[in-house]
Structures are given as structure tokens and as C-alpha cells.
Structure 1
Amino acid sequence: MQPLIRAASLRGFGALVTELGGDPARLLERFDIAADVLEHDDGLLSITAHDRMLDAAASALHCPDLGLRLAERQDLTILGPVARAVRTSATATEALDAAARFLFVHSPVLTIGVDDDPWGRRGVVALTYRKEVSESPYSPQAVELGLGVFYRVAVQLLGRPTGLRSVEIPHGPLSPVNRYLNFFSADVKFDRPVAALCVDARVLDSAFETADEEIRRAAVEHLAGAYADPAHSIATQICRMVSESLPGSIPSLSEVSRTLHLHPRTLQRRLVVVGTSFGQIVDDLRRDRAHRYITTTDLSFTQIADLVGFAEQATLSHAVRRWFGVSPRRLRHQARLSR
């Protein structure tokens, strides 16, 4: 199953595309996204389709700062039920902890964290923003959207300067550098290993005027009870183990069982309860990864076969026909026509 993201991430997208002279409905259709997705923040859509659409829209509409423009139309509320726990936290540290713990509600492949400053500056920390690229391809526009919203949320919550020292962006500038400097009001560094906002560490102790311990506790209890972190599910653990083995041989059910300290039959029973099987998990992982490599890269089919754990290209071809009803070459051709 492809990783998802809440439709709130596209808040303002339709209006922005229209203002730029584009047709949002045609873009949604092009990337197989339901036409009514822009109407409901809590709807879910493929994060890969979401990100590819942002990159394609920026290119087609000659709007290289589309991600930043979309960020200007969003705020903390795009996080839905997570926003209440963040907003009512006592300090920035507590808010970051809540956001990091429950960001999977917004999308399970996005994470934020606090790391050391990459430049070794005393009293500076890096607030990182990551997407798991083993699950969905890197997207420059989506990263700029995420970093932009991260910054705007910080300004919104602190109600004063954020102590931002620099911004780390993993790709080169898409727009004139002044566009970034004006947006973030800080130095911006490109082609960096990790997307991040580097801030004075003292900011993490900043108190929020919106703090309310009773509401925060209720919000956290609701999130913990209503949403199961997919990272803790048995199926996700198996998927991660299989994913980490690639390229290379797929671990057997017995090998996975030993790693999880379970009897193979016990593991099989647990998977039946959640409506899947070991073989189905492996097949789904191969299908999603093969589709991503075929449709978003120029890798040879022999290379892709190896990356998804097939010994021969012919095995990949048979599997792709079973999954998608066409050959790998035809699937790649169809994807390029839709761009």
C-alpha cells in the first residue's frame, strides 16, 4: 500500500493554481487524485501523487516557488487533530515532542526532530524535516512546502522572532535566492544533507501564550487512543525488515519470525488478523517499489529487478504484467505521457 498524506496539505492549492492560469481539476485527474479531495482536509491521498503533482504544477505553470506560495496559505491547522496538542503545549520543546510523536496522523512517511547544528555553532540546534524516500520519491516542491509551513507554524506559535539562524535545503535553488531570503528572513543554504531550520537553542524553552495543560492532555490522550502509529504494527515492522534487505535476498518467514521473537505460525496468525500475509506484504512492497522506480526514474529494468529483489528482468516483467496489466516499458511510457 502506498503511503498517504492528509488532503489538508493541499489547502489553497486549487485557488493558487487557478490564479496562476491553470486548471486544478485537470492536474488532479492527471495524477489520479479524486476530484473532491480539495474539499475535505481529512481526506487521504497518495503522497507520491501529491508530490509529483506539486512538481508538475510548478513546471507547467512556470512557478518555481509554488511550494513556498502554497505554504503562505497554510498554518498549524493543516495538522488537524495534532494541531490542538501542539498549540496548547507549554513550551516549544513540548510542542515539538507532540508534533514528532503524532505527525504520522498527517503522513506516516514525514518526520520532524531536533538534531545538532550541522555547522557546529554553539547554542544552535537543527529542527529537521524528513521524508522517507525509500517509501516515496524526493520532491523539491514538497520539501519547500513542508519547510515553509514548519517556519510559519513556528512564527504563529511564538508570536515573535523565531531565533532562526539559517535554513538547510537539500536541493539547489528553484527560485532566485532572494525569494528564499525574503520568505525565511534568514540565511539559506542549498544542497544540504537534510532539510532543517537551524535556530537558537533557547527558543525551545519559549513559553506559549496558548498553553493549556488540561486541553493538551486531553488532546494527547485522544490521539493516542484514536490513532495507531503504523510504525508499531507487525505488518509495518515486517515491511521495514524486507525493505532494508533490498537490494539483496528477501528474508524468509522463518528469518523474520526469529528476528521478531515469534513462532512462524504465531506471526502468520497475527497477520491474518490484520488482513494480510507475509507473501502479500512482500508482493505489495515489490509492486509499489517497482512502480516508483519504473515511473519516476530512468533506471534500466535489469537494475530495477535487482532493486526489488528479483534475480532476472524476466521475473520483473511477469510481475509487472500481473500487477498493472502492461509491460514495464509500457508502464514507463504511460507515466511519461501523463507528465
Structure 2
Amino acid sequence: MRDSDLPIRAGILRGFPALVGELGGQGEELLAAHGFDAEVGTQPDVFISLRDVERLLEDAASRLGVPDLGLRLAARQDLHILGPLAIAMENAQTVGEALQSAERFLFVLSPALSHEVIADPLNNPALLALRYSSTTGTGSPQSIDYGLGLVHRVVVLVSGGNYGLRSVHLPHGRIAPEAVYREYFGADVVFDGVEALLRLPRQFLAVPVGGGNELLREIAIDFLETHFGHEEVPVTDLVLAILQGQPGPDRPDLAKAARLLSMHPRSLQRLLVVEGATFKELVDRVRRDQAHTLITTTNLSFSQIAAQVGLREQSSLTRAVRRWFGTSPSALRRDAARESHAEAQPF
């Protein structure tokens, strides 16, 4: 896995070779073409590149001519792809409690993925929404379909059946027949939305989870809090994913980042130091990368960029850019435009 990639557990590809084989392809060949071992899906505690997984799904869907590949893969998997998080969710008292566990500990699967319960984006007070997102920023339709499809499947499995899903919102255009989406989700689907969402009744959170065992849940939560994930995923990667996923003024401080990782702030800071970083340095790194992208690829004013990266005023951005790149924001934008123009010229 390359240093710049965010990790995901290899178990995410469980069932992929068999699915490709059923569709007339060679699953092992596709895996090998993207640098994966044929047995990768059977290695749940190994981390692989999420970006490479996204590329694999898009390539496979294209080669096989199967536009709903992401949904088909999600349909083959079950709750236990989430490891001990599955135990915590299965043994929650209510669906709401199960979803809270998923929100707290989804980083165990990958620090790039997030899932949270939010207010209904269409302002219906009787509804709420489950939002699924990835910090990779690639907008891979197959990966989004797979991720939201898996969230839907997990909710069905936890709740024991139909949970009153009102509508599904996807942040990409329709890539498969609408009937395919309706059959999978059992609800209306809206394409080209802002986010990946499942809209459902607010009262659904209070629905009991059948067969739950409180002792098993406590054991699973304790295991997640004290062991799982932190020792296997670099804490630096987890913090970077959190910071990249919430830019600008809403970027979490040390206390909030620690709370999202179920850690004490001092414990988080100590672990970062062991890995050769500090929280302040990570904030600066994310701010630098975001500022460079906004300056060189957009026409936003420098005051707008300062606000978006979490700096109070334009002068703060100017000082930071000089420290990061040894030049001014205007010169950085001018040089980027010149390079882009030169690359566009025919030989």
C-alpha cells in the first residue's frame, strides 16, 4: 500500500472472485491486474489501498458490462464483514444504539469511511437520514453503490427486515437501470444528489434489535475501545482521515478527534508522538494540501480559501503559504496557471 493511500480491511473483497466468475469473468486475473493476491478477501486483518479497491470495482464493472456490480457485491456480504463491530451491533438493545456503534467504530473497517445519522435533508421532521461518505474524493460510483448498499443490507440484518426506507439518494448519475436500484433498496432512488443517503422514519431508531445479548455487546464494545483498530491502523492515518473529512471552520480540534476515536486527548497525543507527529502538525499538513488545491485549481478568492481551510483572515493564509511553499498565494496560482497552459500546448 502506498503511503498516500488510506487503508481498508482486505475482507471487503470477500466474495469478489466468485461473483466475477459467475458473471463470466476471471476474478483472480482482475485482482492481479490491480496488485491484489488471489486470496486477499480471506485476509480480514490485512489492510489494502481503498483507492485500489475503487479502481478494481470500476474496472471490473466496465470489463464485465455489469453496471450494478457494486450492489451485487454488497448483496453477497453480511454483517460479519465488520468483525467485532458486528457483535456490538447485533447485540444492541435498539437499532439506534446499533447505528451509534457503527458511527463510533466504522474506522475499524477503514479510517476513510464514515456513517452517521443526520437530520432529514428534505426537512421532514418525521424522518432522518443515514449518511455514508468516503474521504477519498474519487466519486467512484461503484464504490458508492457498494458502500451505501452495504449500509442498507446491514440495517436490514440488524432490524430483521423492512425498515420503512422512504428514499435513497446517490451523488452520481444513474449507471444501471432504475429498476435495478429499486429492486435492491425497495424504495425510490434519486440520482445526482449531494450526498449518499438513506431516508427513513425517525421512530425506527427505537425499534428493538431481536435476540440481543447485553453482555456480548459490552464485551464487544470494550474490545473495540481498548484494542481493535488502534494497534493495527496507524493513528496518524485515522486522525488525517478525520481532519480531511471535516475541512474549514468545522474541522475538529484535538478533543473532538479523540472523542471520535474513543480515546482520551492525552492518549491520542502520546500515540501520535510515538508515530512521529503531533495533532497540530497534522492539522497544518491537511490545511497545506487543501490550500494548495484550492489556490491552484479554483478561482476562489484568497479570503474565501482562508475561510475554507480554517484560517481567520487572508493575511494568515498569505503567511502560511509563504511558510509552506516559499511564495505568495498569487504567485502560486500564477505559476500553476502557467504550467497548465504549457502542458496544454501541442508539441
- Give the TM-score of the pair, scaled to structure 2: 0.70
- Alignment gaps of 5+ in structure 2: 258-267, 299-304, 306-320, 337-342
Distance 1:13-1:102 versus aligned 2 partners, 3 A rule: same
Partner of 1:16: 19
User: Structure 1 counterpart of 2:36, which letter?
Assistant: I
Give CA deviations for 1:228-260 in whole Å, capped at 9, x if unaligned: 5599956765787699899xxxxxxxxx99xx9
Q: How does 1:119-134 map to 2 (within 5 A)?
A: 119-132=122-135
Equivalent in the alignment of 1:333: none
Aligned partner of 2:193 in structure 1 is 192
- RMSD across aligned positions (CA): 4.0
| Partner of residue 141, structure 2 | 140
The alpha carbon displacement at 1:164 in A equals 0.5
Change (3 A) 1:87 1:226: same
Shift in Å, 1:303: 4.8
CA contact (8 A) 2:11 2:81 kept: yes
State the SS of the aligned residue for 1:125.
Answer: strand
Pair 1:90 & 2:93 matched: yes
Structure 1 pair 243–70 and aligned structure 2 pair: CA distance change class (3 A): closer
Cα 1:49–1:285 shift into 2, 3 Å? farther
Paired with 2:269 and 2:196, the residues of 1 have a C-alpha distance of 39
Contact 1:170 1:190 in 2 (8 A): yes
Q: Is the 8 A contact 1:89 1:213 kept in 2?
A: yes
Counting only pairs closer than 5 Å after superposition, residues 106-255 of structure 1 correspond to structure 2 as 106-132=109-135, 135-227=136-228, 233=235, 237=239
1:163–1:24 CA distance, 2 compared to 1 (3 A): same
- Checking the alignment, whether the CA contact within 8 Å between 1:3 and 1:136 is kept in structure 2 is no
Find the partner of 2:34 among 10, 31, 54.
31
**Does 39-48 or 184-193 show the bigger shift?**
39-48
Residue 190 of structure 2 aligns with an amino acid whose one-letter code is K
Q: Which residue of 1 aligns with 2:73?
A: 70
Would you say how many aligned residue pairs link Structure 1 and Structure 2? 288
Q: Distance in 2 between matches of 1:240 and 1:157?
A: 26
Going from structure 1 to structure 2, the CA distance change for 1:281 and 1:190 (only over 3 Å counts) comes to same
| Distance (whole Å) between structure 2 residues aligned to residue 67 and residue 37 of structure 1 | 18
Greater mean deviation of Cα atoms: 235-244 or 151-160: 235-244
Check 1:143–1:270 CA distance in 2 against 1; reply closer, same or farther (3 A cut): closer
- Cα drift, residue 282 of structure 1: 9.9
1:48–1:136 CA contact under 8 A, matched in 2? no
The Cα of 1:7 is off from its aligned counterpart by 1.6
Report the CA distance between 1:115 and its aligned residue.
1.0
**Poorly superposed stretches of 4+, deviation over 6 Å:** 238-246, 267-270, 280-286
In the superposition, relative to structure 1, how do residues 174 and 281 fare at CA in structure 2: closer, same or farther (>3 Å)?
Answer: same
**Separation (CA, whole Å) in 2 of partners of 1:186 and 1:243:** 28
Partners of 2:79 and 2:125 lie apart in 1 by 29
Give, in angstroms, the shift of residue 274 of structure 1: 1.6
Distance 1:269 1:123 in 2: 44
Match of 1:4 among 4, 7, 21: 7
Kept after mapping to 2: 8 A contact 1:124/1:198: yes
Q: Could you tell me how far 1:30 is from its partner in structure 2?
A: 2.2
**TM-score normalised per structure 1:** 0.72
- Structure 1 unaligned regions, length at least 5: 247-255, 261-266, 294-301, 317-328, 330-339
CA-to-aligned-CA distance 1:193-252 (integer Å, 9 cap, x gap): 111110011111000112111110111001101035599956765787699899xxxxxx
CA distance in 2, matches of 1:285, 1:228: 22
CA deviation after TM superposition for structure 1 residue 275, in Å = 4.4
Taking the aligned partners of 2:196 and 2:92, their CA distance within structure 1 comes to 24
Q: Using the alignment, how far apart are the partners of 2:270 and 2:82 within structure 1?
A: 35
Question: Aligned partners of 2:240, 2:144: CA distance in 1, in Å?
Answer: 28
Question: What secondary structure, in the 3-state scheme, does the structure 1 residue paired with 2:54 have?
Answer: helix
C-alpha distance in 2 between matches for 1:209 and 1:277 = 44
Which letter maps to 2:13?
Answer: L
Distance in 2 (CA, whole Å) between partners of 1:179 and 1:141 is: 14
> Is the CA contact (8 Å cut-off) linking 1:86 and 1:98 kept in structure 2?
yes
Distance 1:59 1:191 in 2: 20
